[in-house]
Amino acid sequence: MRIVLGVSGGVAAYKAVLLLRLLREQGHRVRVVPTASALRFVGAPTWEALSGEPATDQVFEDVEHVPHVALGQGADLVVVAPATADLLARAASGRADDLLTSTLLTARCPVVMAPAMHTEMWEHAATQANVATLRARGVHVIEPASGRLTGADTGPGRLPEPEEIARVALAVAQDSGDAGGVPGVAAPRRDLAGRRVVVSAGGTREPIDPVRFIGNRSSGRQGVELARSARARGAHVTLVAANLAPDVAALVRDAGLEDVVAVETTAQLREAVRAAATSADVVVMAAAVADFRPAHAPGAKIKKVPGRGPEPITLVENPDVLAELAHDRLRADQVVVGFAAETGDADGSVLDHGRAKARRKGADLLVVNAVGEGRGFGVDANDVTVVDGSGELVATAGGTKREVADAVWDVVARVAADRADAGAVPAE
């Protein structure tokens, strides 16, 4: 892949040297385009020696090749790291006063920016407005990390580690289908092109009172990876997101998913999923949905009264969102996929429970995963077994949650295609 690495003038420019090495080691051609300020932090010889290409901020050099236009036009990916407050402002207002901002105006490939600055600069309304403008134009702005800044102070504004920037940037390029021919980066399949899918992710919260709730440990990562994978394969994705963990919510923003509905309770999730499902080819219920909720949630906080123990909380059953979707089939030929987080017990193994659940729920496919003891919730690795509606084993998959998501879509896309073929009226 042909990558332009833009570097603007912050202390974290030294980390871009490591990012450059990483990208080069993965076989990419990288042209570094520093700003004048960046060159005061790290000089051109470092960029040129490590990239094997010239590094200048000037538009009036090498003019016969028109670099202020050619670099952006020829790039498969532009990564700006670090992106200063000043660079974000110039990019958002469409300035073209150096080689990097000119390149940003001519690039038609994915653009990823990793801001780094002091917390006050990052949180300033002007910077936040610039970031919002850039995101609205399709730029993938990575949330800065929190931690030690240039001096002794700490807070949000730190440049994420080079490995993380490389991972996000290459994933963005891959998701957009522009990574063809890159060593080590498979071109995404487009087997969901034109399909509408709904994915629920996260865990619902059932209020006990205005400040307390009954929740669960789901971070939402597996559901979000399913949504990102579906989008990369060409689907229009509605993500119904219930209380995502902060790093997973950042992943959603970086992925540029357009249709995200935030919900909190099972009732809200049910309503959002059913509304989107009326026009969906596939519904994947990956969210951990509470089976029960407190029967009454008073409008005021429950007080602790000295000497009197707590009132018992009476629970009532929530609607079974997956079983309802499987029963109602809100659209003809819809494929309904459930997730079951199980633990084995004296009554049977994880798979035994998953198979019984598949038969009970009536979904087309059930993805069964074992949770607890470092698996499933909150970690990036998952092992799953996919069974059909009668409990028959269809596939197994393991690896990162993205790899599991890809493997699940391999199965679901096949079922959806078979169903569409079966429903098609043959031409005369």
Q: Which residue ranges make up the site for ligand FMN (CB under 6 A)?
A: 8-12, 35, 37-38, 84-87, 116-117, 121, 150
- Measured from the CB atom, the residue of 116 and 166 that comes closer to ligand FMN is 116
Closest residue to ligand FMN using C-beta atoms: 10
Determine the Cα angle at 117 with ends 114 and 123, to 5°: 95
Which secondary-structure segment (H or E) carries 420? helix 401-423
Minimum separation from the CB atom of position 30 to ligand FMN (A): 19
> Could you tell me which residues come within 8 angstroms of residue 216 by beta carbon, excluding any fewer than 6 positions away?
203, 204, 288, 290
- Measured from the CB atom, the residue of 103 and 265 that comes closer to ligand FMN is 103
Place of tokens 């991972």: 167
Q: Contact 4/79 with Cβ under 8 angstroms? A: yes
Supply 372's token pair. 């607890």
Return d(Cα 86, Cα 213) in angstroms, integer.
43
Return d(Cα 202, Cα 285) in angstroms, integer.
10
Q: Contact 90/99 with Cβ under 8 angstroms? A: no
Q: Contact 112/168 with Cβ under 8 angstroms? A: yes
Minimum separation from the CB atom of position 71 to ligand FMN (A): 17
Q: Contact 60/98 with Cβ under 8 angstroms? A: no
Closest among 329, 327, 336, 343 to 366, alpha carbons compared: 336
Q: Does 318 qualify as catalytic in the annotation?
A: no
Minimum separation from the CB atom of position 403 to ligand FMN (A): 35
Alpha helices in 176-220 (DSSP H): none
Minimum separation from the CB atom of position 149 to ligand FMN (A): 8
- Measured from the CB atom, the residue of 80 and 365 that comes closer to ligand FMN is 80
Minimum separation from the CB atom of position 18 to ligand FMN (A): 16
Given 130, 216, 243, 318, which residue is catalytic? Answer: 216
- Measured from the CB atom, the residue of 150 and 349 that comes closer to ligand FMN is 150
Radius of gyration of the chain (CA): 25
- Measured from the CB atom, the residue of 149 and 237 that comes closer to ligand FMN is 149
Return d(Cα 35, Cα 57) in angstroms, integer.
5
> Could you tell me which residues come within 8 angstroms of residue 299 by beta carbon, excluding any fewer than 6 positions away?
210
- Measured from the CB atom, the residue of 121 and 275 that comes closer to ligand FMN is 121
> Could you tell me which residues come within 8 angstroms of residue 303 by beta carbon, excluding any fewer than 6 positions away?
none
DSSP for residue 30: E
- Measured from the CB atom, the residue of 121 and 323 that comes closer to ligand FMN is 121
Minimum separation from the CB atom of position 310 to ligand FMN (A): 50
Strand boundaries in 48-126, DSSP class E: 77-83, 111-115
- Measured from the CB atom, the residue of 115 and 338 that comes closer to ligand FMN is 115
Alpha helices in 197-349 (DSSP H): 221-232, 246-255, 266-277, 321-328
Minimum separation from the CB atom of position 20 to ligand FMN (A): 17
**Phi/psi at 413 (nearest 5 deg)?**
-65, -35
Strand partners, 337: 284, 365
Just list the catalytic residues. 216
